[in-house]
Amino acid sequence: MDKIIGIGNALVDALVRLKSDDMLEEFNLPKGSMQLIQSDLNKKIYDRISAFEVGQDAGGSAGNTIRALGCLGVSTSFIGKIGNDSYGNFYKEAMEKEGVESRLLVHPDLPTGVANTFISPGGQRTFATFLGAGATLSAEDLDIKMFENGHYFYIEGYLVQNHSLMKRAIELAKQSGLLICLDLASYNIVHEDKDFFKQLILNDVDILFANKDEARAITGLEPAEALEVLAKECEIAIVKTGRRGALIAKGEQRVHVDAIWVDEVVDTTGAGDSFAAGFLYGLATHESLRRCGEIGSLLAGYVIQYLGASIPDERLRELQKEVMKID
């Protein structure tokens, strides 16, 4: 089985279920977006949500994907930076619990990053993210040894605040012979740094993951047309379309996979990350393009039934059996 190495913002998710979107308006957070915030606003949000029941989970886009792959038994490692605090210990333990090889660096002074995750009625999630120690991960922190023995390198678009870090990570991964997988992260992130993303896709990316909003932000087109544009620039392009499933292109091959029907969508946090995990699991085990997409849809369908980006242990065993049954 091929090894998958990931890099991203190491964050602990603070999960709050909302009865309305009033709090999003209070903090000027566009619904469905990811906004980077500073420590003062993070403190205000912390104070505001303290009266709510707040869930806690290891998060971060690439971290979610790599941890889900670990749950499925894939050989994985993760590069990130945490603080020397209880959140950092929680994050490291959560990753290692699923068999992920930790390549986590520790900042001695800054706290571990937090993704304040607001879950609207219907399951849509909105992030107010304080990167904390994660923001100090730099190109100088990276070493070629971090990329040894891998086959795929998975990088999240949320790292775009540090161009030199992304470029250096991709450079080292390519020197080590890894295929580059990029998730575009969030439509507003793409919109704000479109030219940089376009250059990455054109010059460096082998496998691209985007949802319909991100695909529109990078191409200006709707899913089917966006897929055709993106497919010309990388080996495999995936455009996720929510309840309508996902569109996948490789060369002349085109595949549509349906979304998994669930009775209740509790929280869409981690849905795209889980899809990527399922898809990469299929690639790592040398499955067909369709099967890769079907496993991705299966994982996404499971995770949206629970709060946060984790699947309870008892359902994980069921999921593993379902993955094996897909043909």
What tokens appear for 194 in the block? 């479109």
Which pLDDT does position 326 carry in this prediction?
Answer: 67
Residue 121 within any structural domain of the chain: no
Compute CA distances 174 → 153, 180, 204, 276, whole Å: 9, 8, 9, 20
Mean pLDDT by 10 residues, the chain (327 residues): 94 91 94 90 92 88 94 95 95 94 95 93 89 96 96 96 96 98 92 95 97 96 97 97 95 95 76 94 95 94 76 70 71
Residue 34 within any structural domain of the chain: no
Full residue range of the structural domain in which residue 193 is found: 4-9+60-112+132-325
Residue 253 within any structural domain of the chain: yes
Q: Which residues contact 2 (CB under 8 A, 6 or more apart)?
A: 74, 75, 150, 151, 152, 283, 284, 285
Which pLDDT does position 6 carry in this prediction?
Answer: 98
Residue 31 within any structural domain of the chain: no
Residue 313 within any structural domain of the chain: yes
Q: Helix, strand, coil % (nearest 5) of the chain?
A: 45, 25, 30
Number of domains in the chain: 1
Which pLDDT does position 255 carry in this prediction?
Answer: 97
Which pLDDT does position 61 carry in this prediction?
Answer: 92
Which pLDDT does position 267 carry in this prediction?
Answer: 67
Residue 202 within any structural domain of the chain: yes
Q: Which residues contact 103 (CB under 8 A, 6 or more apart)?
A: 77, 78, 79, 80, 146
pTM of the shown model? 0.89
Residue 280 within any structural domain of the chain: yes
Residue 55 within any structural domain of the chain: no
Which pLDDT does position 270 carry in this prediction?
Answer: 75
CATH code at 97?
A: 3.40.1190.20
